[in-house]
Structure 1
Amino acid sequence: MKKQKKASNGSSSRQACRFFQLPDAVIFEILSRIPIKYLLQCRCVCKRFLCFTYDPEFARLHFSRSSTCFLFKNISPRYGLYDFWLAQVEAKGAGIEVSNLKFTQYNAPTSCIVGKSACNGLLCLAVLEQFQSRTFYVCNPVLDEFIRIRQPYQFVPRGDFWGLGYSTATKQYKLLQIYYCLRYEWDNIPAMAEIYTLGTGSWRSIGNAPIGSVGSSSNVFLNGALHWFTLSFVDRSEFIHSFDFNVEKFGTVPLSDHLRKKKKFGWHPSVGVLGGCLSMIHSPNHMSFDIWVMKEYGVKESWTKQFVIQDPGYFCLQPMIMLYKNSPDEPATVVCYDPKRKHLQEITNMFHIHLPFQVASYTPSFFSLGDVAKGEQIFRALDSMTRSVKKSSSEAVIDHFTVVFQWKSWITSNLTSLRFLKSVKMRKTDSSTSSPATSDPAETKKLLDKLVVLKLNGGLGTTMGCTGPKSVIEVRSGFTFLDLIVAQIQNLNTKYGCNVPLVLMNSFNTHDDTMKIVELYAKTDVKVHIFNQSQYPRLVAEDFTPFPCKGQPGKDGWYPPGHGDVFPSLMNSGKLDAFIAEVVAAINGKEYVFVANSDNLGAIVDLSTLEILNHLIQNKNEYCMEVTPKTLADVKGGTLISYDGKVQLLEIAQVPDAHVNEFKSIEKFKIFNTNNLWVNLKAIKRLVEADALKMEIIPNPKEVNGVKVLQLETAAGAAIRFFDNAIGVNVPRSRFLPVKATSDLLLVQSDLYTLADGNVSRNTARSNPVNPSIELGPEFKKVSNFLSRFKSIPSIIGLDSLVVSGDVWFGANIVLKGKVKIAAKEGVKLEIPDGAVIENKEINGPEGLSG
């Protein structure tokens, strides 16, 4: 890193700058008044500015003050490329500020942009691709983000209308499309209406649109509704149609009697927004046009003639912003109208644009599609941040990495002072000795009816040689992880007449296969809900550019961002609100969700663990993490620490190399996180809506197709510090039984465990409370190879440790005791015969089996 320049007093420039010591609210107030051009420059220089401009609260404040700009679309006649340039008019109206922003998205030679709609600084562009189908692109040109939305049919609709809007009720962006099913549109035939809600990934029909509602492609979003002008081809009657995105209903805005008597609105009727009011153009003839404003929304008497422009020599396409010259022989020209001077000023020559272009009004914003459309594929979402890395020093790093670097720096200087949670913050529970929260079946039912069980189901079984979801691996007696989970919950629902639902958070890697498997549980007493978590682009480690931009648009270019994504994804799926609102047997909805990994066989819900749920409800604990004593087998597990008065999670990936051994110490850090979490549903909703879950980022390096990439992930346990009255619960080791490798599979398939009602429990015949240590060679890594090398799983109740290497094959009814080591010589197949009893022995060949 370059040395920082010294200030006059000898301190560093970072120390001398006190701007960032101001409260965030003050910084937002200052930054929101800076012109868009300079804000963009600041984002490419300083990582702190970058962080502030990605804050949703700043985005809302800036948009409320942002002035209208020109959005130019250059069209390259040779390559069919579409470049977007942003230009801002200064307050005096005389000068033009042109930013350096260039937004290029569409490079197919046959593509043709046929229209645009804007809402809250987001643009929706309709693109005709290969003259076969239309695709919509919702984008933010300021942040270089876009989402591709394909139509549900493979034809270009006839007589269609579409526009982008926002629902304040659901806080979702929606795309409305109206079209005729027939080859030709007719004024007396109703059109079809469809809605696409960003984040859902699908279209849905809302029935027929009103007759004659398909009109001008020009539309404007105002007061929660989309507005557009229609002109009947039958009787020349005029309407301003509207669509309210909150209630998803069509309507009309009344025109004044004066306007309706004119019966003609010129060649290019359109609506707009002027001074926060609905406006429209009234063109009595081709030599002039009037701009009318509806001073009081919905009141037809409030229509007022605001401006009259005489003999413009232009066709007006958007009031006050964009005009085209009348003559087709003259190039298109952009003009501004000064209402005080009553003068039209041509400004195109100030931009030095030579290619054919179009231009529209646009209010820039910093609203990120990553916030408003979770669950969608967001292309080039990190591109603007990547430019920061390329254009400046290492000070301007990506926001995610900034958090990681700061976190690691903090750990380096504070690791020695980190301490285990005070005992007052910990509760202990032991399912083997503690009594249930209640012995009354009715009270048990009430507790269970407040619970939702959520399993993290985004992982693949690739480390065990499987190609599908890990949860469908057979773990015992022909049952998969999912089979056992469903059986556990069904047993509770059947026995107590309760309604505990199962929720699976899938990734894009596991969703399709899981959907097919879940159909098998349709006849059980368990309601299974499914939703997908987000997917982010991998970053090329060399230059931090998104991997999809390097020619990897398929699955290899993307990744699920870790289980820390469970809270926003649960909210965005709509499941969270549904559970909160649900009323079951006079119980006021669900209150808590139990979150656990699908491969943790110990993460069950039974009567003994209801003590935890009962305690959380009685003491209003919003978050609870189950921890268990750390052994030498768990040294990499995350641990809870107390710092600055808050409970926090510390993961090994966040610890600098120099302190890793210290972190692994079972004397200093005595417990680790099982990732079994109990969380209040309303608290999740509150924190997600406030965008308050700023969890630490964990970089996960990978290599994909020979390219070193980074995945920036979060852990659900890291959210503990954001919830009120969060606690940790010290649970017995039986609550943590993950199956990460075939060595774990050997444990749970052996007589060391028993199976009843979907619960895998330790065999009481084993006196040693610690499970045997098992190490299997690479020949056993894949599940298929593992199963083929055992005629039957050996008895290991009396086993302390087992190490197997080489080409070893086990017969049936084998008993292993004490410390056993079996190593086949290279190139030699070693078979352990049926019925063999091996105790405290090291075997290197057939001769070792005798005696």
Structure 2
Amino acid sequence: MKREKRDESAPPLPFLPCDLIFNILSWLPVKSILRFKCVCKSWLTLFTDPDFVKKHLSQSQNHKLIVSCEFDNFFSVICENHDPKPIHNINSKIRGIEVNFLGSSYGLVLYATGGAGASNRLYLLNPTTEKFNRLPVLPSLIDQITVSYGFGYVASIDDYKVVAISSSLNGVSDFESITSVYTLKTNSWRRIQDRTLEVLPFEGSGILLHGVIHWLRPHWSNITCFDLVEEKFQYMPLPADLQIDPLSNKLTCGVLRGCLCISFIIQDQDLMFSREFWVMTEYGKRESWTNVWSTIGFDSIKSLNFSNSAKEDLFLVDKRWLVGYNVEKDSFSRYRANYNPTTNIEAEIYLESMVSP
């Protein structure tokens, strides 16, 4: 079959400057970019260019939820209209391994296999591209009993940091701890603080806000903070005159609509339990702590710092249910489960990106 000759009188194909192509492509969803890698060599090179990856990340507004069922794969989902729809399974190689999410920042998720203990392996994952990186083994203390982690992106140095606080028992009741920091660019750990006596183990993984990691500690009336830029510790006071015990009142820390948040269980005169939520409306100012609402006395609750199209804030309740809370209606709505509701789940919000872990 003869190819038809191009009409020479037809106008030439338009020429687009490279800068314009760069800007247009940077607005595409990651799924389209991955598909367009095979268009030409110049696009393949462009999509791996650090400037393009950074530009694309700065414009990305597509948040998704990554969910891990107990001893199963984890998968990415979209949560809209109380129907979490799975997009795809991620990294099938980890099937049969317990996964614990430790934080999410600028397109990457930090997780540990086998839980969050000292002997477990850490990974950085981009759920969108499904690429992951196994971190080097964390230097540990003798008789180490607990490790708490924090994770975040540091814009000033364009790098990701993982903070690990290792604690061990020194004697009968005294604790000692060391702090180690991992940076993605060096792919290595370094200690930044000598062993310190009488430091109680931190509770859970840290909460990232304003470039600072926040932890709760049992029996302490403040929040311990670690500045990722200065790599220094400081303390954030809890609301004044708040008579609670972090353990018995099941105090939790999180981020709610861009503000530092705590919640805890209280019992009223009728012996009914409820959970109060407080937010720090002006970061760093103790007097700005505000009681925003009280609700059902859930045993455990994790704010996922995400609001859906129905203007509901999304929570993981009792490690089993995804629940939306509508502030205006003062009501909770349980999302339909597409996983086994009898098993525990882990959940974390992440931002779609091209960032390589």
Alignment TM-score, normalising by the size of structure 1? 0.34
Q: Cα offset for 1:153?
A: 4.5
Kept after mapping to 2: 8 A contact 1:103/1:144: yes
Q: Secondary structure at the match of 2:203?
A: coil
Size of the aligned set, in residue pairs, is 321
Within 5 Å, give how 1:66-465 maps onto structure 2: 66-67=62-63, 69-76=64-71, 82-90=72-80, 93-107=81-95, 111-128=97-114, 133-149=119-135, 150-153=137-140, 157-182=144-169, 186=173, 188-206=174-192, 207-208=194-195, 211-212=198-199, 214-232=201-219, 237-259=220-242, 261-264=243-246, 266=248, 268-285=250-267, 287-309=273-295, 311=296, 315-318=300-303, 320-324=314-318, 332-349=320-337, 351-353=338-340, 356-369=343-356
| Identity in percent | 20
Q: Secondary structure at the match of 2:321?
A: coil
Runs of 4+ in 1 over 6 A off after TM superposition: none
Structure 2: distance between partners of 1:281 and 1:354: 24
C-alpha distance 181-354 of structure 1, shift in aligned 2 (>3 A): closer
Within 5 Å, give how 1:551-700 maps onto structure 2: none
C-alpha distance 132-172 of structure 1, shift in aligned 2 (>3 A): closer
Q: Cα offset for 1:43?
A: 4.0
Q: Secondary structure at the match of 1:152?
A: coil
1:25 matched residue in structure 2: 23
Q: AA paired with 1:83?
A: N
Structure 2: distance between partners of 1:361 and 1:22: 35
Kept after mapping to 2: 8 A contact 1:72/1:358: yes
Structure 1, unaligned stretches of length 5 or more?
1-10, 32-38, 77-81, 326-331, 371-851
Structure 2, unaligned stretches of length 5 or more?
1-9, 305-313
C-alpha distance 140-298 of structure 1, shift in aligned 2 (>3 A): same
Q: Secondary structure at the match of 2:91?
A: strand
Q: Cα offset for 1:367?
A: 4.5
C-alpha distance 224-243 of structure 1, shift in aligned 2 (>3 A): same
Q: Cα offset for 1:86?
A: 1.4
The RMSD of aligned alpha carbons is: 3.5
- Give deviations 1:21-62, integer Å, cap 9, x for gaps: 955435545x3xxxxxxx354345433698677532343224
Q: Cα offset for 1:313?
A: 5.2
Q: AA paired with 2:108?
A: L
Q: 1:57 aligns with which of 54, 58, 62?
A: 54
Q: Cα offset for 1:334?
A: 2.4
Q: Secondary structure at the match of 1:57?
A: helix
Kept after mapping to 1: 8 A contact 2:250/2:264: no
Q: Cα offset for 1:298?
A: 0.7
Q: Secondary structure at the match of 1:366?
A: coil
1 or 2, which has the higher strand percentage?
Answer: 2
Higher RCO structure, 1 or 2 (CA under 8 Å, sep 6+)? 2
Structure 1: distance between partners of 2:280 and 2:197: 23
Q: AA paired with 1:323?
A: V
Structure 1: distance between partners of 2:20 and 2:340: 42
- Give deviations 1:551-609, integer Å, cap 9, x for gaps: xxxxxxxxxxxxxxxxxxxxxxxxxxxxxxxxxxxxxxxxxxxxxxxxxxxxxxxxxxx
Q: AA paired with 1:283?
A: I
Structure 1: distance between partners of 2:107 and 2:172: 32
Q: Cα offset for 1:117?
A: 2.2
Alignment TM-score, normalising by the size of structure 2? 0.76
- Give deviations 1:311-365, integer Å, cap 9, x for gaps: 355532346421027xxxxxx332222222222211143x254783413231223
Q: Secondary structure at the match of 1:368?
A: coil
Q: Cα offset for 1:257?
A: 0.4
Structure 1: distance between partners of 2:238 and 2:351: 30
Structure 2: distance between partners of 1:155 and 1:66: 43
Tell which structure's C-alpha radius of gyration is larger: 1
Q: Cα offset for 1:366?
A: 0.8
Q: AA paired with 1:302?
A: S
Kept after mapping to 2: 8 A contact 1:158/1:183: no
1:440 matched residue in structure 2: none
Structure 1: distance between partners of 2:101 and 2:83: 28
C-alpha distance 97-53 of structure 1, shift in aligned 2 (>3 A): farther
2:7 matched residue in structure 1: none
Q: Secondary structure at the match of 1:182?
A: strand
Structure 1: distance between partners of 2:262 and 2:118: 34
- Give deviations 1:421-450, integer Å, cap 9, x for gaps: xxxxxxxxxxxxxxxxxxxxxxxxxxxxxx
Structure 1: distance between partners of 2:356 and 2:34: 20
Q: AA paired with 1:241?
A: T
C-alpha distance 313-154 of structure 1, shift in aligned 2 (>3 A): closer
Q: Secondary structure at the match of 1:191?
A: strand
Structure 1: distance between partners of 2:282 and 2:250: 24
Kept after mapping to 1: 8 A contact 2:226/2:232: yes
Q: Cα offset for 1:154?
A: 9.2
Kept after mapping to 1: 8 A contact 2:57/2:354: yes
Kept after mapping to 2: 8 A contact 1:209/1:250: no
Structure 2: distance between partners of 1:45 and 1:269: 45
Kept after mapping to 1: 8 A contact 2:143/2:169: no
Structure 1: distance between partners of 2:121 and 2:31: 32
- Give deviations 1:756-813, integer Å, cap 9, x for gaps: xxxxxxxxxxxxxxxxxxxxxxxxxxxxxxxxxxxxxxxxxxxxxxxxxxxxxxxxxx
